[in-house]
């Protein structure tokens, strides 16, 4: 399903360098007496092809077909997994991003080989899922909607907005063309299979449904928007009602496919060797959708437990010194993503071009696929689909698929290893070096542990040149690589949350770090910057001076705005008529308890706005600006 955020039409061509991967036999020699051990094919849209988003993950053997095919897709992961087939795989990767059902027949004819098994995902583009996401969730800058997209779903009682119009179009299509098109596409595949006598000894077509995108029960998402202030013209919220409508649509689509297959009669005389199956993989995404309980707003973009891409240029959140995308909250309390056009030049100021629908997939897949991948699986999401599809074939006893019971028996279990001795040594707060707990959690969860799980022993610095500067280290024996779960458990659960709690001299629960030793592995968090004593907690002050044509401000703080050089605070104050080239922000300790000082000018009568901006950036609830103007 090409949820083609291609509405952000980026027409600049980018030269691609094919990635060297294991070559695919696209046209095996079928004249020989013995057929390939296990030939299989993937057909369908971008949920089958995946969405390549830069030159490192484009599927090289077919990259010049410009189909978004990616090495991260579940199909390529299945091909690279040699454990589930009894013989050599011959893999035909024919799915193409953006495809409608009418294109699936030519995919099989032109690039599908002679498979004994086909896995397919199709129909989402015909159903208009992409149009619904654009109108109901992102409301992007789009020359086709120069007047905007109309009211958001929850603000549209008369159904005049494009969101509800597109939902009504889905309902109409589901009552007619989608059902007919699904049956016709299955017929096309079976016609080819039976005409070419592909049963060896059986031919199996698996049509997979799509997954639910949202948890529909949680409350936090009611005040969240996936819109971006420079890419979107609206800011629709992900209220429960909208999430439920979209979930119902996905389930209705999947049930329609299942019903067709349940009563399916092939176009040619029935042959029990040609079989059609329906797979519903949605349950494997439980706990890993958007809006899951316990996930933050930033997790919807960068959290490793969310298996779906959002609209994000950066794959990872990055440390705060290099974070160009930030969370903002508008006057109604809705959170959304923002970026500074000066510090983040990655987003073009004009997002539309003559290529109105973004059909230049060649440019997209070599660098701008980030605009097409929202609501498609990340690597772990593709892996979950891969595992589910292999389990299904094993359960069905497909010829050529190695059954779990017949796999080589594992080696006898070794004697249990001795339980490692574990000690947790807290650094404490006596030297006035500490870090905000949530910032440490963010660095551990989103950056450090995923990297350590792939590289092993590493040491990394975060929030450099700020009061929250920390060094996180894991050190183990040669070849050691922690799991992400163990890494988070020891660093966050023990070193951070196991230290410096329930202390009246630490009202803000700052964290001084420590060293967790388990056997011959050490996990360490070390704050580096000398700060004010933690007893003072979170404080701030602001003075305004009326200067006739402007107001001049001096603002200071401790325990907040201490990790990003004032970027978030600057963005909040910018909404208060901040005058150009007047902003300055410096870290430095003062006798009044401050850890930083900001100076700037705004238009007159902005004092209350500036006070609110400080609270939005983390100041205490009683924070306000005194003085005049």
Question: Mean pLDDT lowest for which of 16-25, 60-69, 151-160?
Answer: 16-25
Q: What is the mean pLDDT of residues 522-536?
A: 94
Q: What per-residue confidence (pLDDT) applies to 411? A: 46
Q: Which of 216, 289, 210, 302 is nearest to 256 (CA)?
A: 210
* Chain centre distance of CA 583: 34
Are 382 and 72 a contacting pair, CB within 8 Å? yes
The DSSP code sequence of 435-480 is B-HHHHHHHIIIIIHHHHHHH-SEEEEESTTSTT-EEEEEE-STT-
Task: Answer whether residue 365 shows pLDDT above 60.
Answer: no
Q: What per-residue confidence (pLDDT) applies to 64? A: 66
Q: What per-residue confidence (pLDDT) applies to 10? A: 30
Rg of the chain on CA atoms, in Å: 28
Which three-class secondary structure state does DSSP give residue 208? strand
Q: What per-residue confidence (pLDDT) applies to 324? A: 56
pLDDT band at 231 (very low <50, low <70, confident <90, very high): confident
CA distances to 10, 167, 216, 251 from 244, in Å: 32, 12, 6, 10
Which residues are registered as beta bridge partners of 132?
none
Residue with tokens 């004092």: 607
Domain ranges in the chain are 5-352+368-405, 422-527, 538-627
Per CATH, the number for 422-527 is 3.30.430
Q: What per-residue confidence (pLDDT) applies to 521? A: 94
pLDDT in tens, 327-347: 899 999 999 988 765 555 455
Question: Mean pLDDT lowest for which of 51-65, 259-273, 576-590?
Answer: 51-65
Contacts of 510 (CB under 8 A, 6+ apart): 429, 434, 435, 436, 437, 500, 534, 559
Tell me what the pLDDT averaged over the chain comes to.
84
pLDDT in tens, 384-421: 999 999 999 999 999 999 987 444 444 445 555 566 78
Q: What is the mean pLDDT of residues 351-359?
A: 31
Q: What per-residue confidence (pLDDT) applies to 401? A: 93
pLDDT band at 147 (very low <50, low <70, confident <90, very high): confident
Q: What per-residue confidence (pLDDT) applies to 316? A: 61
Phi, psi values for residue 458, rounded to 5°: -145, 165
pLDDT band at 363 (very low <50, low <70, confident <90, very high): very low
CA-based angle 356:360:366, to the nearest 5? 130
Per CATH, the number for 538-627 is 3.30.70
Q: What per-residue confidence (pLDDT) applies to 514? A: 94
Task: Answer whether residue 545 shows pLDDT above 90.
Answer: yes
Report the predicted TM-score, pTM, of the whole model to 2 decimal places.
Answer: 0.60
Task: Answer whether residue 189 shows pLDDT above 90.
Answer: yes
Segments of 363-427 assigned E as strands: 422-426
Task: Answer whether residue 33 shows pLDDT above 70.
Answer: no
Q: Which fold has domain 5-352+368-405?
A: Rossmann fold (3.40.50)
Q: What is the mean pLDDT of residues 44-61?
A: 86
Query: Do 422-527 and 538-627 fold alike per CATH?
Result: no
Which three-class secondary structure state does DSSP give residue 107? helix
Which residues are registered as beta bridge partners of 596?
557, 587
Task: Answer whether residue 8 shows pLDDT above 50.
Answer: no
Distance (Å, whole) CA 370 – CA 366: 10
pLDDT band at 321 (very low <50, low <70, confident <90, very high): very low
Q: What per-residue confidence (pLDDT) applies to 201? A: 87
Distance (Å, whole) CA 242 – CA 220: 14
């Amino acid at each position: 399903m090409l949820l083609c955020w291609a509405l952000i039409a980026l027409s600049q061509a980018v030269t691609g360098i094919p990635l060297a991967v294991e070559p695919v036999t696209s046209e095996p020699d079928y004249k020989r007496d013995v057929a390939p051990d296990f030939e299989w094919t993937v057909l369908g849209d971008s949920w089958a092809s995946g969405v390549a988003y830069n030159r490192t993950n484009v599927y090289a053997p077919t990259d010049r077909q410009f189909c978004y095919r990616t090495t991260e897709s579940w199909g390529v992961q299945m091909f690279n997994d040699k454990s589930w087939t009894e013989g050599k795989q011959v893999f035909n990767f024919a799915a193409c991003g953006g495809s409608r059902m009418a294109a699936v027949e030519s995919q099989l004819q032109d690039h599908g080989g002679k498979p004994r098994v086909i896995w397919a995902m199709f129909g989402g583009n015909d159903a208009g899922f992409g149009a619904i996401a654009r109108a109901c969730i992102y409301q992007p800058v789009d020359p086709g909607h120069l007047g905007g997209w109309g009211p958001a779903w929850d603000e549209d009682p008369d159904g005049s907005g494009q969101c509800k119009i597109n939902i009504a179009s889905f309902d109409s299509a589901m009552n007619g063309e989608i059902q007919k098109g699904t049956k016709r596409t299955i017929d096309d595949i079976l016609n080819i299979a039976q005409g070419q006598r592909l049963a060896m000894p059986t031919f199996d077509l698996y049509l997979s449904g799509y997954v639910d995108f949202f948890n529909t029960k949680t409350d936090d998402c009611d005040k969240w928007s996936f819109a971006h202030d420079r890419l979107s013209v609206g800011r629709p919220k992900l209220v429960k009602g909208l999430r439920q409508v979209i979930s119902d649509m996905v389930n209705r689509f999947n049930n329609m496919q299942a019903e067709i297959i349940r009563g399916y009669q092939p176009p040619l005389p029935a042959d029990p060797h040609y079989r059609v199956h329906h797979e519903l993989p949605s349950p494997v995404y439980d706990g890993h959708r958007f809006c899951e309980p316990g996930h933050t707003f930033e997790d919807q973009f960068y959290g490793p437990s969310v298996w779906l891409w959002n609209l994000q240029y950066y794959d990872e959140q990055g440390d705060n010194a290099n974070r160009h995308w930030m969370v903002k909250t508008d006057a109604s309390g809705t959170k959304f993503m923002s970026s500074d056009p000066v510090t983040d030049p990655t987003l073009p100021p004009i997002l539309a071009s003559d290529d109105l629908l973004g059909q230049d997939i060649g440019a997209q897949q070599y660098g701008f696929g980030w605009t097409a991948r929202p609501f498609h699986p990340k690597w772990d999401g593709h892996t979950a689909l891969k595992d589910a599809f292999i389990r299904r074939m094993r359960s069905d006893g497909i010829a050529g698929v190695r059954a779990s019971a017949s796999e080589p028996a594992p080696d006898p279990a070794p004697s249990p290893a001795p339980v490692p001795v574990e000690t947790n040594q807290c650094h404490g707060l006596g030297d006035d070096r500490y870090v905000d707990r949530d910032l440490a959690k963010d660095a551990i969860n989103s950056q450090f542990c995923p990297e350590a799980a792939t590289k092993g022993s590493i040491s990394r610095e975060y929030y450099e040149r700020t009061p929250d500067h920390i060094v996180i280290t894991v050190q183990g024996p040669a070849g050691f690589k922690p799991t992400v779960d163990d890494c988070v458990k020891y660093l966050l659960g023990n070193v951070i949350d196991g230290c410096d709690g329930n202390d009246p001299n630490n009202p803000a629960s700052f964290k001084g770090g420590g060293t967790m030793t388990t056997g011959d592995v050490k996990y360490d968090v070390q704050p580096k910057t000398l700060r004010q004593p933690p007893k003072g907690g979170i404080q701030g002050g602001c003075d305004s001076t009326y200067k006739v044509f402007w107001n001049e401000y001096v603002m200071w703080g401790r325990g907040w705005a201490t990790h990003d050089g004032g970027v978030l605070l600057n963005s909040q104050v910018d909404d208060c008529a901040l005058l150009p080239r007047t902003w300055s922000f410096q870290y430095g300790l003062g006798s009044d308890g401050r850890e930083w000082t900001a100076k700037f000018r705004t238009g007159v009568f902005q004092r209350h706005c500036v006070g609110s901006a400080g609270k939005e950036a983390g100041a205490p609830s009683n924070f306000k600006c005194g003085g005049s103007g």
